[in-house]
Structure 1
Amino acid sequence: MNTRKTELIERTAKVKEDLAEAAKAAGRNPEDVSLVAVSKLHPASDIRALAESGQVDFGENYVQEALNKQEVLTDLHVHWHFIGGLQSNKAKFVAGNFGLVHSVDSRKLAQALHKKALSLNVVQDILLQVNIAGETQKSGITVDLLPQLAEDVMKMENVRLVGLMTMPPFFDEPERARPVFSRLRELREALESRLGTQLPHLSMGMTGDFIPAVQEGATLVRIGTRIFGARTPRV
């Protein structure tokens, strides 16, 4: 086994161990929390190394980069997550190619995914991204507009709403992100009551703040740097 593969496997195992400990500390079943390894800007060979060792979920941010990786990794049984900002004119490349889209934040984008999914005769699972802190530089639907967007999405037969996603502000102290995670859980519960359906997923928590995220109910944790190391800058 080469050095890079060994390093990736060991890092991933340590992250999963920490995720399990955080879940147990919160009285949760560790199996209810899935690690999404954020492989953006890292080579397909890294994904292969981890997939062959049992890692299933991988997150990508950039459409063309992700599709290129998928093309050379068709033999792998992995679950692809699209977690980056997505323009509606690129939705046609995403629907049907990713098991879950985390970053839906408008009716226009949801409709574009629905249209493509309909043409493929598939149902695309999505999360609604919520900008809880109201940061102007970040994507996400505002809290007050979330219920209407959720109701609109529920009327689209070829997209399936399965939960919510958020990205808190960057804090030096992870605990400061806890109120954002707690708020997303509360919003999910309110939506479930309003819509009369279960929304099983909360996508929240990254390398620097995943422990409070798990303790507040995260089911999908997006971790990249702690597994893959520093990223190669995009050109």
Structure 2
Amino acid sequence: MTELPLPDPTPSGPSGQARLDALRSNLTVVEQRIAAACAAAGRSRDDITLVVVTKTYPASDTRLLSALGVTDVAENRDQDAAPKAAECRDLPLLWHFVGQLQTNKVRSVLKYADRVHSIDRLRLVSALSNEVLKTERPVLGCLVQVALEGDPVATRGGAVPDDVPALADALASAPGLRLDGVMAVAPLSGPYAGDPRRAFDRLVEISSLLRRAHPAATMVSAGMSGDLEEAVAAGATHVRVGTAVLGVRPPLG
């Protein structure tokens, strides 16, 4: 991550400068954690992409993060993400949508998202493909979200592992979409609850099986502020970090 010159205007007043300094400090700590995890796993730091989850935080923070060299940001609610992305459209950022996506939000999300991590059903594949074909936007990168709990009804979304191959095949053949890989959140219930390393090992195993049919689907999105080390050790390529960079989140409205 290369720090870029601050955009103009720079943060105004002591509060703006304090926020910039806090984000810089937090990013440094997270970078050190990722580098240490890579060293422990015998991996190159270049193998890992840091995606900063900016949900609930203002566009002003996104602008500061971009100035500090962040290239990838993520949101999980379209009603928050759409206006923020519009305000930051001049920044050299890749936007990741990581929340559960309803089909009635597809058109809005496609206006800014470069990649959707949360593909978990065939109906969503069809809705995204149909909408991409109506626009002149680039191909949309997609990840299959895996429900490692084994029961998508009791989870934060995702397809059960047995359904991943068919969903991946549908994504790979859908016009306007590109199958990039898999995503998961460390489960709160089921056989992997409380053991993120085992959970992420399982995700990487699913990824390896998927690549037999789809060799280009190499992305493994896993790990957040509390378990990024376990994700890196397992083989994640992208870690989604929010609180460790931006601080404790304000409550959702």
Q: TM-score, normalised by structure 2?
A: 0.88
| 1:50 maps to amino acid | L
**1:205 has 2:217 as partner:** no
Alignment match, 1:218 = 236
Give CA deviations for 1:159-201 in whole Å, capped at 9, x if unaligned: 0000000011249xx98211110111111111111x2422121
How much has 1:54 moved relative to structure 2? 0.7
Alignment match, 1:160 = 178
Q: Conserved in 1, the CA contact under 8 Å of 2:75 and 2:97? A: yes
Alignment match, 2:88 = 73
Give the alignment of 1:1-235 within 5 angstroms. Answer: 2-121=17-136, 122-135=138-151, 136-170=154-188, 176-193=195-212, 195-235=213-253
How much has 1:72 moved relative to structure 2? 1.2
The total of aligned residue pairs comes to 233
In structure 2, stretches of 5+ residues that fail to align are 1-10, 12-16
Partners of 1:56 and 1:192 in 2: CA distance: 26
Give CA deviations for 1:3-46 in whole Å, capped at 9, x if unaligned: 11100111012101110110121111111101111100011111
- What SS does the aligned partner of 1:202 have? strand
- What SS does the aligned partner of 2:126 have? helix
Worse-matched range after superposition: 37-46 or 64-73: 64-73
| 1:69 maps to amino acid | K
Q: Which runs of 4+ in 1 moved over 2 A?
A: none
C-alpha RMSD of the superposition? 1.8
Give CA deviations for 1:73-106 in whole Å, capped at 9, x if unaligned: 1221111110111111211111252111101101
Q: Conserved in 2, the CA contact under 8 Å of 1:96 and 1:124? A: no
Q: Conserved in 2, the CA contact under 8 Å of 1:205 and 1:211? A: yes
- What SS does the aligned partner of 1:141 have? coil
- What SS does the aligned partner of 1:80 have? strand
Q: Conserved in 1, the CA contact under 8 Å of 2:72 and 2:95? A: yes
Partners of 2:218 and 2:35 in 1: CA distance: 19
Q: TM-score, normalised by structure 1?
A: 0.94
Q: Conserved in 2, the CA contact under 8 Å of 1:175 and 1:209? A: no
**Identity, % of aligned pairs?**
36
